[in-house]
A and B are shown apart, each in its own frame.
Chain A
Amino acid sequence: MKIEGSKCVGFLGPNGAGKTTTLKIFTDMIRASEGRALINGVDVHLNKKKALGPVGALIESPEIYPALTPREALSMVADLRGLPRAEAKKKIEETVAEVKMNEWLDKKVGKFSKGMKQRINIAAALLSDPEVIMLDEPTTGLDPRGQSEVRDIVKDLKKKNRLVFMSSHLLNEVQEICDEVAMIDHGKLIVYDSLSNVTTRFSSDGSNTVEIELSRDIDEQSANRNIASLTSVSSVDRIDPRKVRIHFSGGIQNQERLLLDLATMKIGMISFRPSASALEDTYLNLIKDTL
């Protein structure tokens, strides 16, 4: 598996598939039984310091020394990564504000909840502005608002042209923020491709699915007659009077054309997005066991 460029790659698989193990190999926390882990061409096991220089990683919700404050814990990371003092001070305040923990900057970590510690861990991973960010289920332990904020952070990282490699159990999370998806099962990589290609190639009927939301009601008959007749559309499900799921064949060009056609129909479409169930459908087709 080779990942390059600036994007977000979602890493999916059942419990025990090897997601965390893969990330641990990439941070030299464990050794690979075979094969090599290279970052920018540098073997992580042979030259960890050089390989992990441009990497920020969050693996398995680490604990921070309870007697330290976030400012101290992050200062330690900044010192280890060679951030100049003035820059480190500024970056710590910025990053902690980004994870919404600025009010807790000088309180001891020992008093923090699991979610608060996870926010500091995310701040630690982002502190040095790394080129590559590896996140192992980063929203673990976070409340819904925290999860949403982490998703926003990852989206921002994409805008800053970073490479994010993120394992997750949350398919909707991966679907929302990732450009590509890799699936692993029993230690073997099953697929690695763009999200749309994966959902098209491996969904149960080989089609893509989008969901549209409408500003006004649409009846069953209109949905079936008007939308189903569009080019490449294979079937239409009316989820509720203002929400319709459309299955269509073909790739990104057909999706673009479908969007154009639906907009032209003037049915009050206010949103158009890949169906959250498409990735789940693909996942369930590819991953047969939960363990």
Chain B
Amino acid sequence: MTQPTSPTVPDLKKRVLPSSVSQIGTITKYELVNYFRSRRFFVLLIIGLIISALLTTLVGYYRPSSFLSSALNFYSGWWTNTITFVIILSGIFYGGDSISGEFQNKTGYFLVANPLRRSSIYIGKWLGALIASIIILGVFAAITIGNGIYYFGLNIPNQLWESLLFSVLYLIAVLGFTFFFSSLFKSTSMSILVTAILFLFAFRLIEMLVESLVKIEPWFLITYGAEIIGNVLLDPYPITVTQGFGRDAFTSYAVTIPEGVAILLAYFVVTAVLGLLLFERREFT
């Protein structure tokens, strides 16, 4: 085969490519623009507002003693029961199809052919999802605190700030997990469905079965680790308690703060690394 030759391309103006950190920032910025423009962000915001409005109305109308006996009980009842649900919804809404959509909808073809690392795309999209979720979480937290101030004044217990911090940690772990599933599946509906089933039903069910039947501490479940969000708002902090003796003994496990933090961090690190590796290796066939 002949190799034709012709003059070499003249030296064009050499352009310095931005650093990977800067490219991550670009991906994050446009991921957020995309969220804010699409209905996705506002649907989740509206869900958060509806939950807050319902709680505001119910607590204001019925004035339940379990809520209004102390500031800590108020925040415990309000925050613990709803925030994990809001976080899981954020994971599903923003993480569920974040990577699989790049393949199924072919939007990835627009990005990947550019001079940037795939890890920059992955991290940029993850940060976009995290920021959008934190905005939702922030709005929900603001309404919660607003109600708390209405009933108890500015006496906001320190435990609430700890719980808020653990909520952000749980959100980070959930998004790591959902991005991993999103990298695993090519179909967006499959990745969303699996994420929803796991977080809304499967983990809770496994935790219950493990505790009651196998009788071991479910330290390997992300939802068990997330119990620190609610536990920290209880006074005193719950401890693992065993009732009965021998074969009839039943242990009620309570995750400690260091354990919970370790579980959530481990989930984030492991799923983030696996998800990133999967995305790096997956082919745009």
13 contacting pairs across A/B (C-beta < 8 A): A5-B6, A5-B7, A29-B113, A53-B17, A59-B113, A62-B109, A67-B38, A77-B114, A80-B26, A80-B116, A81-B17, A125-B113, A193-B2
Closest to A192 in B: B1
Cα distance A129–B12 in the bound complex, in angstroms: 9
* A3-39 residues at the B interface, CB under 8 angstroms: 4-7, 24, 27-31
Contact B106 A62 (CB under 8 A): yes
Given contacts A5-B6, A65-B30, A79-B29, 20 further A-B contacts (CB under 8 A): A24-B283, A29-B112, A30-B283, A52-B115, A59-B109, A59-B284, A65-B34, A79-B18, A79-B22, A79-B23, A80-B27, A80-B114, A82-B17, A108-B37, A129-B13, A131-B12, A191-B1, A192-B1, A192-B4, A197-B4
Which of A7, A29, A58 has most B Cβ within 10 Å?
A29
Within 8 Å of chain B (Cβ to Cβ): is A124? yes
Interface size on A, residues (CB 8 A): 59
Contact A49 B17 (CB under 8 A): yes
Question: Which residues on the A side are within 8 Å of B54 (C-beta)?
Answer: none
Tally A-B pairs: CB < 8 A.
143
Question: Which residues on the A side are within 8 Å of B109 (C-beta)?
Answer: 29, 59-63
Contact B2 A197 (CB under 8 A): yes
Contact A4 B5 (CB under 8 A): yes
Within 8 Å of chain A (Cβ to Cβ): is B8? yes
Contact A4 B8 (CB under 8 A): yes
Contact B15 A161 (CB under 8 A): no
Contact A68 B13 (CB under 8 A): no
Closest to B116 in A: A80
Which of A7, A54, A65, A79 has most B Cβ within 10 Å?
A65
Contact A162 B34 (CB under 8 A): no
Within 8 Å of chain B (Cβ to Cβ): is A76? yes
Contact-size category for B: 35 or more
Within 8 Å of chain A (Cβ to Cβ): is B33? yes
Given A49-B117, A73-B110, verify A83-B8 contact (CB < 8 Å): no
Closest to A60 in B: B109
Within 8 Å of chain B (Cβ to Cβ): is A96? no
Contact B107 A64 (CB under 8 A): yes
Binary A-proximity of B171-198 (CB < 8 A = 1, otherwise 0): 0000000000000000000000000000
Question: Which residues on the A side are within 8 Å of B2 (C-beta)?
Answer: 192-193, 197
Within 8 Å of chain A (Cβ to Cβ): is B65? no
Question: Which residues on the B side are within 8 Å of A76 (C-beta)?
Answer: 26-27, 29-30
Within 8 Å of chain A (Cβ to Cβ): is B213? no
Cα distance A67–B8 in the bound complex, in angstroms: 41
Given A67-B34, A81-B17, verify A54-B12 contact (CB < 8 Å): yes
Closest to A124 in B: B110
Contact B26 A79 (CB under 8 A): yes
Closest to B112 in A: A29
Within 8 Å of chain B (Cβ to Cβ): is A166? no
In order of increasing CB-CB distance, the 9 nearest A-B pairs are A62-B109, A67-B37, A5-B6, A29-B284, A52-B115, A62-B110, A30-B283, A57-B113, A79-B26
Question: Which residues on the A side are within 8 Å of B30 (C-beta)?
Answer: 65, 68, 72, 76
Closest to A181 in B: B4
Within 8 Å of chain B (Cβ to Cβ): is A194? yes
Given A67-B37, A189-B1, verify A81-B12 contact (CB < 8 Å): no
Within 8 Å of chain B (Cβ to Cβ): is A116? no
Given A31-B283, A49-B115, verify A83-B15 contact (CB < 8 Å): yes
Within 8 Å of chain B (Cβ to Cβ): is A48? yes
Contact A60 B9 (CB under 8 A): no
Question: Which residues on the A side are within 8 Å of B108 (C-beta)?
Answer: 62
Cα distance A129–B15 in the bound complex, in angstroms: 10
